[in-house]
Structure 1
Amino acid sequence: MSFRPIALAAALFGSFTTQVVQADTALLLVNDRYLYAQNLRQARPIEQLHARLRDAGFRVILVTDGDGDDLREGLDRLLQADEDERILIAAVGHFARSETDSWLLGTSVNRPSLASVGGDGLSLSVLLEVASNAPGRAIVMLGLERRQIDLGVGLGVGVGRVDAPQGVTVLAGTPEDLAEFTTAHLLVPGTNLAEALSNARGLRAFGFVSAALPYLPAANVVPGPYYPQPPAPGPSLPGADETALWNAAVELDTLGAYRAYLNRYPAGFYSVDALARVYAFENDPVAFAQAAEA
C-alpha cells in the first residue's frame, strides 16, 4: 500500500496553480497518514492554507502524504521555479533528528536509521538552503505534533538544532498556531513581523526577524533591498547540565518536566522538541489530565 497517488495528485494541483499566479512561491509539505507510525491529528490547518496563499498571489506547490521521493520532488519544483522574491515553506509530519540535521519523514518510513533517513525523508538543512534564495522574505514553518514513531540507530524524535541561513525566518509551533499566524499576520501587508511574533501564542522563532522589513510590503510601498543583518542567535550545543535536564524530562515524560526544561532553557538545544511535547499534552485531554495528576 502506498500514499504516492495522493501525493502526486496534490502535486498536479500545485502545477495548475502555477499557471494562474505570477509571483511568489509557497511549498506546503503535509504528511499526516503514515504506514508504520501514528497518524497526525492536527495537520489539516496547514493544508487549508493553500487557498489563502493563492489569494495572496502565491504559486502553491502542495504535497500531501508523500514518501521521501515525493517530498524531494516538491522541493525540486520549488527550486526549478527559481523564486528569489518571496518564499514560504511549511512542513508538517513526523520529524527525526541527529546531532547535525533534522528530517521531515515520508509516510512510508519504517524505523529509519541515520544511514537510511536521507532516502526516507527530506533534510531540514536543504529546505533552509533553498529558502535562502529569497533572503529577507523567506519563511520556513515547522508544524509540530508529538505522535508515536519508532526510529533506528542514530536518530531521535523531533527537530534538533535549527541553524537558519542569513535572511531566513524559521517558525515552529502547532500547525493550527502556524496557520493562524500566517493568515492573521504573514499575509497582511505591512505587518511588523517582530512585533507580531512577540505577541504570538506558542510560536518559537529562529533566524531572521525584522521589525523594519514586512513579509508582504504595505500597500502602495515599493519594497526596498534586503540588507543582511545578523541572525537571531540560535541554540548552541547543549552543555552537560542542559543534556541532563533534558534526559530527565524525557524519562519522566510529563508536562511539568518539559515546562521545567523550557523555563530554564527557553532557547535551548532541545527547545523545539520540548515545545512540541508541551503542545501534545495540552491538546490531548487524557494526557493533560494524567499530567495534572502526576
Structure 2
Amino acid sequence: MSTVEFRPSQRHGRFTIPRTSMLPSFAVLSLLSALAYALRSIVTKQSMPGLPLGLMLLLQSSMCAAMLFALSRGQSVVLAPPRRTYRLYGSRMVWGGLTTLLQFYCLQKMPASLATALSYTAPLFTAVLAPMLLRERSTLAILLTTTVGFGGVALNALPYLDTVQLFYIGVGLLSGFVNAMMQISIRGAAAEGEPGLRGVFWMHAATAAGACCACVFDDTWSLTVEQVLACVVIAVLSVLAQLTNAAAYARGSALPVNALSFLTLPMTVGLTVVLLGEQVSLLVGAGMGITLPAAFTLVWLEQKRRDTILAP
C-alpha cells in the first residue's frame, strides 16, 4: 500500500542500494516493497486452506511485533507513546488491526486479484473522507477522479459476480474503507511528530492480542509445520515491505514513491496467474487500467495541494 509506515534514520538505515544509471535507489526500494506486498498476498492465499484465520493473525502479528521491537532497539526508538497521543494510537491500533483482519479474510474468500483490487479503494475512500475528518479542501478534479476510480473498481469486480457472493465483495470494499481510516489516523500521528515505527509496532501488538483472545474463545491451536512456516514467511514479507517502503520515502519524494507503490496491484494479478493459476479476464485488466491512473492522479493532486500550502 501507499503508506509511509516509518522512516529509518540516515544513521541507522539498513537498506543501501547501489546507485545505478538505470534506476534511482528510491525506485528500486519502491519496487521491492510492491513486490513484497504482492508476494505476501500470494503466500497468504496459498496457505489459507485449513489455516484458521485467528491463528494466522496471531503468529503473523506476533512475529512482526518482535521484529519491529528489535528494529526499534537498533534505531533507539522509544516505543512507549506520550500520554497526549493515547487516543491517536488507540485509533491507529483499531483501524490497523481491522485492516489486516479484513484483508486476510478477503484473501480467504475470493481470488487474490479481486481481493487486492478491492483493497486498493483505500486512496479513493481517503479522498472522500479527508475533507470531513481532516478538514482538507476537496476540489472538483478530486471528486471526478474518485468517481472514475470507483468505476474502474466496479469494472474489475464485474467478471467475478458469478463466482463471488456480493457480501464478500462488500467486505472487500469495507477493507478499503477501513484502510482509508487507518491512513487518516497515520496522518494524525504524523502531524503530532510521532515516529511511524512506534505506531506500526503497537498496531501489530494489538492485533496479536485480539487474535489470541479469538483463539482462546474458539479453542483453536492446531497447526502443521508447513502452516507455521507460511506464517513466518508472511511476517517477514510484511516487515520487508514496510522497511523498503519507508526507506524509499527517505530517499525520494512522496509523489513517485506513492505512484510506484500502486504497482502492487498489477504485480499481484500477474503472480496469481503464474503461481496460483487464477483466470483473469480482459475486464479485470480494463478495470486496473482505469483504477491505477485514477489513484495516481489523486496522489498527484494531493501532492500539488500540499506544495501550494507550503509555498511561501
Structure richer in strand, relative to its length: 1
- Shared fold, TM over 0.5: no
Q: Which of structures 1 and 2 has the larger relative contact order (alpha carbons within 8 angstroms, sep 6+)?
A: 2
TM-score (norm 2): 0.23
Structure richer in helix, relative to its length: 2
